[in-house]
A = this chain, B = another copy of it.
């Protein structure tokens, strides 16, 4: 299959490019390298010393004798997206090319607008290019479980059938996102549902949980590592906890720590994407996959990291700090996750398994985390 990965320079994109290529797919990627700039802007860097795209492609060729093709360009440029889709005519576009940070989007009006415009316009341009050049291709779009928020009822996969005042309808499940960034993902979801309705673009809309882990089997040497962010903005809670453990900082869940989310390991994320790609939706179908394997509260997460850190001789003390975000710190959380297992998804790595790989790998790069340890604690606040 000819697969185009938007955002191939990112954490998931680089891992997925190699994974799909290894399975025999023809893979090309697109990126504007903005993640590197944005992480630099907030004063940080990847804990893993990632190579430039040119070096990555050469290292991959050298290690595997396989090629990955790459286009540097910005998805918000309509003509560029039109051209690259027209030239490549992909069977599947995997859209990972968005700014993924809640705190970054919350810095100020400029960062809010930059995140919203980047994500919405980039996604729109992909939809129009697909309509014009590959109307039967499959769009695998990355959303987030965070689109749903934390309602006091079960979370279905995208739609639910309800009765209201004696009548029934099947409707999109209401979204309650918790940051300007999360809002972009909701906006994308509504935009995609509309494109599917009017143009029949077949799509898998992935509501993904938090992905953890530092490497996949394809990263046979360190030149092939993907990025691992640990700063306040681009590092997830689990990444920050791991980085904190490595440099002897307390692990700092926000607030009461009851915030519960879905999680999955990087290599299982690759497995899920691949299942969706290799089992595409029907013609004109729009389907929503909730993509995670386990749910944990922030406190449980910190305890897992602490436990594995202690096995490795690190201190791993936990310190609940004031929550910079406005979010429910104790809540009901029961999301469905049936579509992917129905297609054969089986989690291979538990959180602890993965932590036993991640933390030792990060310990090799302790100096890089130490150099940016000032970037871990939160400064961006949700309230005025």
Contacts and interface: CB of A to CB of B under 8 A. Distances in A.
Contact of A198 (B124, B169, B384): B384
A216 interface: no
Interface stretch (A173-181, A233-241, A310-318): A173-181
Interface in A63-83: 78, 82
Nearest to A165: B154
A282 interface: no
A241 B162 CA distance: 38
A93 to B, nearest CB: 15
Interface in A275-326: 326
Contact of A160 (B109, B117, B164): B164
A92 to B, nearest CB: 19
A121 B128 contact: no
A194 B183 contact: yes
A235 to B, nearest CB: 22
B121 A117 contact: yes
A124 B109 CA distance: 7
A186 interface: yes
A368 interface: no
Given A172-B176, A180-B191, 20 more contacts: A82-B109, A112-B124, A116-B124, A117-B117, A117-B120, A117-B121, A151-B169, A153-B162, A153-B165, A153-B167, A162-B162, A174-B174, A177-B190, A178-B194, A179-B194, A180-B194, A183-B187, A187-B187, A198-B382, A200-B384
A186 B176 contact: no
A231 to B, nearest CB: 22
Contacts of A198: 326, 382-384
28 contacts: A82-B109, A108-B128, A109-B124, A112-B128, A113-B121, A116-B120, A117-B120, A120-B120, A124-B180, A135-B384, A151-B171, A153-B162, A153-B165, A153-B168, A153-B169, A154-B165, A160-B164, A162-B162, A172-B174, A177-B190, A178-B194, A183-B187, A183-B194, A186-B190, A187-B190, A198-B382, A198-B384, A199-B384
A153 B176 CA distance: 21
Nearest to A120: B116
A164 B152 CA distance: 10
Contacts of A173: 174
A191 B183 contact: yes
A74 to B, nearest CB: 13
A164 B154 contact: yes
A122 to B, nearest CB: 10
Contact of A116 (B110, B121, B165, B175): B121
A172 B120 CA distance: 22
Given A152-B169, A174-B173, A109 B78 contact: yes
A23 B383 CA distance: 36
Nearest to A132: B384
A22 to B, nearest CB: 34
A279 to B, nearest CB: 25
A288 to B, nearest CB: 13
A32 interface: no
A153 B332 CA distance: 27
A61 interface: no
A153 B174 CA distance: 15
Nearest to A112: B124
